[in-house]
Amino acid sequence: TGKFPGMVGLCSDWCLERCPSLRIDTHADNRPMQDALKRCGFQSCGIVTLADGTTRIAFEKVNK
């Protein structure tokens, strides 16, 4: 757990009030962030490959 529990939800809700969807990517080994995103309703939607060749797991949440 982080220093500010619920921050992912607060930030994503604020963003989704202003745009129809939100995408976030994170390292495969960043389990706390992945768990927080899933708790907030984000779904895994693929893998992002950066210019340096490293990869991230992509998540998306659509404002309904």
pLDDT tens, residue by residue, 21-49: 999 999 999 999 999 999 999 999 999 99
**Alpha-carbon gap, residue 36 to 31, rounded angstroms:** 8
Tell me the pTM: 0.85
Phi/psi for 40 (5° steps) reads -90, 5
**Alpha-carbon gap, residue 61 to 32, rounded angstroms:** 18
Q: Is residue 8's pLDDT more than 80?
A: yes
